Structure 1
Amino acid sequence: MTQLNEGAAAEAVEAGDRADVPVGVGGGTGAAGPPPGGVATRTLATVTAWRLVVAACGFVGYTDVAVRMGDPVRALEDLSHLASFVAGLLFLGLAAYPFVTGRRRHEPPSPWARGAMAAALLLVGVVWHTLMDGLETGYLTTSALFTHLVTPLAVLADWLFVGRNQRRARWWFPLTWTLPLLAYLAFMVGAGIESYSDFLDPDDDGFLLTVGAFTAAVVVTGYALLGAARLTRRPRPPQSAPASASASAETDQAPTAA
């Protein structure tokens, strides 16, 4: 078991995650029951279909710009298109995950990847609509629509309403969600990419201050995602005492015969 799954309490939560319907998805179990400790057929079909849709959104945004540029590799240079492509791969993997685990889980135990993806795409969407004048320009291409609006909202909805493992997010996750973005920043500077030079210019005196502000914004966004996951989480029903324990308690409380 991983560090996210330690102790008897964690094992109980893990069992609940396998058996329960995800928040906001499905309405019960299907006619065909799941394997012992597995997920219900109807729930599995719903979650799988949803995550295939999210994956398609990511690939549509990336493919549109790749076709127009005529260079699939060069299309990955911009963070917007790279994030959409990675989102497509991630959600394609999440859709396949229940099947490669024998329908024992809807998703991996850790929500780190989903949270990092949500934080990155929210950054992409907010920056494009504000600092890059996306609201004034409008969605002139399919890529602009999907990479900056549709895919970020779909990934956010998955985090809030579809997945269940976000309850396991650790307090330090938002700090580490900055690492992929900082890695991209290092690549951007090293490769001389100028797509974001209007506000991220390495030659500008305020470059490090701007990078610090973006990093802090991602951390704040990450903690907002953690807080929102707590608010939207479905309360678990109270566990009833085992029948044997109840009978034992009644026996202990019953008066003895004279």
Structure 2
Amino acid sequence: MSDAGAERADALSVSIRSKVYGAGGPEPVEAVRDLSFVVRRSEIACLIGPSGAGKTTTLRILLGLDDAYDGAVTPDPREAGIAMVFQEPRLLPWRSVEQNVRLGLPRSERGRDLDALFESLGLTPWRGRYPGKLSLGMARRVALARALALRPRILVLDEPFVSLDDRAAASLREIVVATVAREGMSVLMVTHNVAEAIEIADRLLLVSARPASLLTAVALDRPRSERDRAWAEAMREDLANRFPGVIAA
């Protein structure tokens, strides 16, 4: 493959023909059906769908936590260089901020210089603090630092800004966008916040109610710096009219 071809290649390809819970039992539940999408290199893609649609199931599959499905994820999740940031920070309360970040690294890398990482996330003064002394916004920064320390090719975010005030959420969104620009990684973010997705995404991946399937992929070609409130609201309204079961009016 040429260098140009490599640059255009997808970072992740997900094709789930079917995922059924309780298959063969009295009340099987089909969570996903014919859900296929790609995450391109150096892009932010946002996965949006109604509650209970199967988004969490999809994340478990692409993270390699569930292999009982019909389909394929390429590359293999165990070899794809994926790091995950969950909705809850999941920090060890008896470990400092720095220790929480380093514990996610392979033992051979736990002594690596992370000064630049902590600085980029505004965590330098907090390295010796413990999670109980952090706000939710700061704890989410630590969780993000723990994932970024792995230097992933693909960063998966599950409702990473929920329950944060507007200022804290905006600050974290800026960090994610800057990290993608600086490191060239790809991001797949699950969110119910359509305005948030329209603000930072390169593409929106809209999925149906259960069983989840892809309804459409919407490219957001306008530069982020030019996405003013009027344009964003018009985009959200258009999507709500076209996909009322996915996006509230």
Q: TM-score, normalised by structure 1?
A: 0.29
In proportion to residue count, which structure has more helix? 1
Structure scoring higher RCO (CA < 8 A, sep ≥ 6) equals: 2
Of Structure 1 and Structure 2, the greater strand share is in 2
Which one has the largest radius of gyration?
A: 1
